[in-house]
Amino acid sequence: MTPTSSSSTQQGWHALTLDNFSQTVMQAELAVVYFSAPWCQPCHQLRPAVQSFAQQHPELAYYGEVDVSASSAISQRYGIRSVPVIVIFKQGSVVAQLPGQLAVLSTLERLLHEQRHAL
């Protein structure tokens, strides 16, 4: 079961905050969380590719984004010290942390398929 959020910024992509993180990401079988910041130029460059990936593969996971400037408690909880970074959660536990680069999307797809088959 994939949780839904009223904080969607586009189909399949959810704005995550301290208020909705536990009810969405922590409850999802698989979740991909993109940690970014408004001041981060590489974040702005990678975001469209990650959002496109989410739209192309909605069956693989729940997708969302955490603004580390606005939700520092979440980034601190998971040891996020630089952005952009993509974190994969499986049933509430971190299973992978990927540095945010365009090349990471093929790795992301492979990891999601592996985790999906392991459910």
Query: Which residues are designated catalytic?
Result: 40, 43
Distance CA 7, CA 84 (A): 20
Token digits for 62? 């729940």
Distance CA 51, CA 35 (A): 13
Coil, strand, or helix at residue 20? helix
